Chain A
Amino acid sequence: GQQVQQSPASLVLQEGENAELQCNFSTSLNSMQWFYQRPGGSLVSLFYNPSGTKHSGRLTSTTVIKERRSSLHISSSQTTDSGTYLCALDTNTGKLTFGDGTVLTVKP
């Protein structure tokens, strides 16, 4: 089965609403990375989070190793947050295993 599963597959919000994106993994990890992919393709690293909670502006990442999950919380969403959010599992082999992503659409 797939090592990394993301949910939901897609999400539509009104501007100002909060979003909670989930990533569940089935194997041990060294770290979890979250990426934002712009419409058009390029990826931007949001968080490198081996465990615990990290904050960056309106974004919060929480990784709970024992529960094999990581989440990305977006508060007060804006239309410019629209795009695809990808999580990727790093098992300390130098390789990342990606989930299929969550497509977020924020409507004005």
Chain B
Amino acid sequence: GGIITQTPKFLIGQEGQKLTLKCQQNFNHDTMYWYRQDSGKGLRLIYYSITENDLQKGDLSEGYDASREKKSSFSLTVTSAQKNEMAVFLCASSITGGDTQYFGPGTRLLVL
């Protein structure tokens, strides 16, 4: 088995601030994903990466940057936090794209 860890668990920022969320997995999976979930809604894909140093835009990439520094880690940056970005950000990984995805516990973002 393996585990996905996300840090921080809670993130409070100011409007306009640049904020970074981190994700680590020890499954040795090739593909990693970042999703955003708004209250009462499903998940929407922000960015994904099929291998180290690869980046692919999802449906919601505007306003975000991502970085796949190494196979086990995938970071997401909110480039300028906005009040309507209070949401949960979920990281996931899979062996390859199209396989079962495994999720981390999430980072809850609150913008003041």
A interface bracket (residues with beta carbon within 8 Å of B):
20 to 34
A79 vs B96: C-alpha distance when bound (angstroms): 35
Q: Indicate whether A42 sits within 8 Å of B105 (C-beta atoms), given known contacts A93-B97, A101-B42.
A: yes
Whether A45 pairs with B106 at a CB distance below 8 angstroms is no
Whether A15 is near chain B, meaning CB under 8 Å from some CB there, is no
Contact with B along A52-88 (1 / 0, CB 8 A): 0000000000000000000000000000000000101
Whether A14 is near chain B, meaning CB under 8 Å from some CB there, is no
Whether B106 pairs with A48 at a CB distance below 8 angstroms is no
Whether B44 is near chain A, meaning CB under 8 Å from some CB there, is yes
Across the interface, A100 reaches (CB within 8 A) one of B41, B56, B88, B103, namely B41
CB distance from B88 to the nearest CB of A (A): 5
Taking CB atoms and an 8 Å cut-off, the chain B residues in 41-91 that contact chain A are 41-45, 48, 50, 56, 58, 88, 90
A96 vs B50: C-alpha distance when bound (angstroms): 14
Whether A25 is near chain B, meaning CB under 8 Å from some CB there, is no
User: Cβ of B103: which chain A residues have Cβ within 8 Å of it?
Assistant: 35, 42-45
Across chains A and B, the number of contacting residue pairs, with CB separation under 8 Å, is 61
Whether B88 pairs with A41 at a CB distance below 8 angstroms is yes
Whether A33 is near chain B, meaning CB under 8 Å from some CB there, is yes
CB distance from B11 to the nearest CB of A (A): 14
Whether B43 pairs with A45 at a CB distance below 8 angstroms is no
B interface bracket (residues with beta carbon within 8 Å of A):
20 to 34
Whether B42 pairs with A95 at a CB distance below 8 angstroms is no
Residue of B41, B43, B48, B105 with most chain A CB atoms under a 10 A cut-off: B43
Across the interface, A30 reaches (CB within 8 A) one of B88, B96, B98, B105, namely B98
Whether B104 pairs with A100 at a CB distance below 8 angstroms is no
Whether A33 pairs with B100 at a CB distance below 8 angstroms is yes
CB distance from B79 to the nearest CB of A (A): 22
Q: Which residues of B contact A (CB under 8 A)?
A: 31, 35, 37, 40-45, 48, 50, 56, 58, 88, 90, 92, 96-106, 108
Q: Which residues of A contact B (CB under 8 A)?
A: 4, 6, 30-31, 33, 35, 40-45, 48, 86, 88, 90, 92-96, 98-101
